[in-house]
Amino acid sequence: MLPRGPDTPPNSPPPGPSEDGVALSEAEIAVHWREEERYPPPPAFVAQANLTDPTVTERFSEPHFPECFGAFGELLTWDRRWRQVLDASNPPFYRWFVGGLLNASANCLDRHLAKFGSKPAFLFVPEPESEPTTALTYEELHARVNETASVLRTDVGLRAGDRVTIHLPMTPELPVTMLACARLGVVHSVVFGGFSGEAAGRRAADSGSRVLVTMDGYYRNGRLLDHRSLADATVESARREGQTIDTVLVWQRHPDRYLSASPPVPGRDRLFADLLRGRRGTRVPPVPMPAEAPLFLMYTSGTTGRPKGCQHATGGYLAYVAATARWILDLRPSDVYWCLADIGWITGHSYLVYGPLALAATSVLYEGVPTFPDAGRPWRIAERLGVNIFHTSPTAIRQLRRLGPEAPAQHRLRFKAMTTVGEPIEPEAWRWYYTSVGRGAAVVTDTWWQTETGGFLCSTKPALDPMKPGSTGPALPGIYPVIMDENGREIPAGANRAGNLCIRNPWPGLMSTIWGDPERFKRIYFEKYNRRPESKDWRDWPYFAGDGAVQSADGYYRILGRVDDVINVAGHRLGAKEIESACLTVPEIAEAAVVPVADELRGRVPELYVTLRPGIVARPEIERKVVRAVETEIGKIARPRAVRFVSDMPKTRSGKIMRRVLAAISNTLEVGDVSTLANPEVVEQIRAQVRGASPGPARPPPDDLREFGTTE
């Protein structure tokens, strides 16, 4: 079940039973809330905002759908204009801007050259403070993208439609490589730089990439990391899945040095520095691509072990991120914008690369962690570079607040707009962000969306709607959400009752499909609330987002967290099955179950329960092996807070592990009725063991949360 809203009478029935065997979801361990105060948009912001027309919601209302989205398409430059805004004849597979031809790199670069050629596209800030910031103008970026595209086409033989896996840190080479691919119509699949080689290899195999792009090393948290060494594991893990990577292209963090301890592999690895020699000034014409051609794949965790390659289309995606960056981030060419998200996640793709570049903005690109070498770093950078739009996650906000609550006050900050994204933000953290970072003069947008959705779906319209701490806001113009209960009934709008957040209509940023698996796409996102599988009407195909939410009377949505087997760690999605599969690579482990635990800084952290094979006795070395396996298979981001050895797992009669019960124990919540389990007696044993072993979760849930774990 989901938590109840503040207005739900205590004895009213829960909104619906949760699915059998599904973990006690994130939504169920959501923090308690009350109705928060509202803050009007600062007048100085309103006076200059991009979106001030209050009729926008009406203009994008259902009677005007889908033609209203034509305005988004108008923001782009087309080689051939579209014939039809939306082809919805085969739901849930939608085609936007049908008949249109365009190139994403030309839209992000070429069309800006005449007016903004000498303006920085990126201000690259290396993590070491001793290294200077470098500006990369639109002209320079255009030149580098062309030269790189020439290498990809001529030396590597890549053509439109081919896939390339990019495993790079946060340096200019990452957007350069992405745009070089886009220029050729090559589909890029960027894997977060912090992911392990194994994780990158599995994704490369799924996408069918024969080319991997990597870098020798980079700086993170004061250390120089050897990144190139991961490539061998990537190639090997792709090979195990039947995919040959024949070419590894290596950028160098410092052009005159090779930082990695592992030397290039002859015949396979090639240094960009060598390939680019003699290519100065080379131009590669942008390839006009059909609007629905895939621009990129972005893998995200799902409920099964296999990550899903979310396939985003060139026209719809680019139009959607350009329009939403303009309206919600209030971005324009004269701004200096800083998005702290890594480009390896969707936020970086949409709101650090494609959205800002489509609008000819200037963006800060920062290599390292925000708190290095201290929590004043972001404010020093923002002051020095004159950043006026700032975009980050609740995890970063919580960390910066904890380590340096007074640090923003020591700098001349002049933010007009600030964004938070990725997880629910506690009202306390929100207020610090608004008051101490924004000085009450900046508007704060809390944007809710997902890898699958391409761009923002819910947020306040910054000049039009008041802000409410902890709530994302109403839906964006043209987005029609609905909250459903488990039985497929709509929860009335504004009822303050928890349920599953869905979007009734398609929109241009929605992914086209899961790479290579359209059936899975249909099943995961659309089957749950589809009553007429044969229907060709989009109204029968609501998009199931997998998040619990409540809508209050003012129309604002409050996101409660995931309702499926996905754990949102510090704003990053990790699949429970993926973590469990990693544990099972340790030979001593018989079964593994991972659960989300509330954490003061990171929102949620994974905690592991494992049983051992017969005859094996628990010992610290096995725990270390489990942690190492998770780090090797996925990356440090998935590192569990604790590994708990148990004699048996709580199971249903059909043998399914009840993560819900384990999650309740880890979060010191009531486990509720366990009499239907096959082995109810283990619950008490595990609880006693966990209680004895640790002081409980980092943030003890308040009393009113204790009911949340009580029913199935």
- For residue 499, the minimal CB distance to ligand PRX (Å) is 15
Strands (E), 438-480: 443-447
Q: Is 424 in the site for ligand PRX (CB under 6 A)?
A: yes
Maximal C-alpha separation, the chain: 75
Among 449, 521, 526, 543, binds ligand PRX (CB under 6 A): 449
Of 69-77, 277-285, 560-568, 687-695: span binding ligand PRX (CB under 6 A): 560-568
Q: Are strands 589-599 and 603-612 parallel, antiparallel or unpaired?
A: antiparallel
Of 134-142, 240-248, 320-328, 566-574: span binding ligand PRX (CB under 6 A): 566-574
Quote the CA–CA distance of 234 and 693 in Å, as a whole number.
37
**Amino acid present at 536:** K
Q: Is 423 in the site for ligand PRX (CB under 6 A)?
A: yes
* Tokens describing residue 78: 């087309």
Quote the CA–CA distance of 202 and 500 in Å, as a whole number.
31
* Backbone torsions φ then ψ of 86, nearest 5 degrees: -140, 130
Q: Are strands 211-215 and 187-190 parallel, antiparallel or unpaired?
A: unpaired
Q: Is 325 in the site for ligand PRX (CB under 6 A)?
A: no
Of 67-75, 120-128, 364-372, 561-569: span binding ligand PRX (CB under 6 A): 561-569
Taking a C-beta distance cutoff of 8 angstroms, is the pair 121, 105 a contact? no
- For residue 324, the minimal CB distance to ligand PRX (Å) is 12
Q: Is 351 in the site for ligand PRX (CB under 6 A)?
A: no
Angle between helices 620-633 and 197-207 (to 10 degrees): 40
Compute how many other C-beta atoms are within 10 angstroms of the C-beta atom of residue 218: 23
Q: Is 365 in the site for ligand PRX (CB under 6 A)?
A: no
Taking residues 457 to 476 in sequence order and writing x for each that binds ligand PRX by CB under 6 A, - otherwise, the string is ---------------x----
- For residue 559, the minimal CB distance to ligand PRX (Å) is 4
- For residue 405, the minimal CB distance to ligand PRX (Å) is 23
Residue nearer to ligand PRX on the CB measure, 217 or 348 = 348
Interacting residues of 223 by C-beta distance below 8 A, sequence separation 6+? none
Among 573, 602, 651, 659, binds ligand PRX (CB under 6 A): 573
Taking a C-beta distance cutoff of 8 angstroms, is the pair 521, 506 a contact? no
Of 256-264, 342-350, 513-521, 593-601: span binding ligand PRX (CB under 6 A): 342-350
Taking a C-beta distance cutoff of 8 angstroms, is the pair 621, 589 a contact? no
- For residue 560, the minimal CB distance to ligand PRX (Å) is 8
Up-side HSE of residue 627: CA atoms within 13 Å toward CB? 13
* Tokens describing residue 88: 């919805």
Of 443-451, 525-533, 611-619, 691-699: span binding ligand PRX (CB under 6 A): 443-451
Residue nearer to ligand PRX on the CB measure, 237 or 451 = 451
Residue nearer to ligand PRX on the CB measure, 2 or 88 = 2
Residue 205 DSSP SS3: helix
Quote the CA–CA distance of 39 and 299 in Å, as a whole number.
37
- For residue 327, the minimal CB distance to ligand PRX (Å) is 16
Q: Is 450 in the site for ligand PRX (CB under 6 A)?
A: yes
Q: Is 419 in the site for ligand PRX (CB under 6 A)?
A: no
Quote the CA–CA distance of 361 and 357 in Å, as a whole number.
6
Among 228, 391, 562, 644, binds ligand PRX (CB under 6 A): 562
- For residue 347, the minimal CB distance to ligand PRX (Å) is 5
Taking residues 367 to 406 in sequence order and writing x for each that binds ligand PRX by CB under 6 A, - otherwise, the string is ----------------------------------------
- For residue 547, the minimal CB distance to ligand PRX (Å) is 5
Among 147, 173, 342, 547, binds ligand PRX (CB under 6 A): 547
Taking a C-beta distance cutoff of 8 angstroms, is the pair 666, 607 a contact? yes
**Amino acid present at 530:** N
Interacting residues of 597 by C-beta distance below 8 A, sequence separation 6+? 29, 604, 605, 606, 607, 641, 663, 666, 667, 697, 698
Among 300, 314, 399, 581, binds ligand PRX (CB under 6 A): 300
Residues of the shown chain interacting with ligand PRX in the complex, contacts defined by CB under 6 A: 300, 345-347, 421-424, 446-451, 472, 545-547, 559, 561-562, 568, 572-573
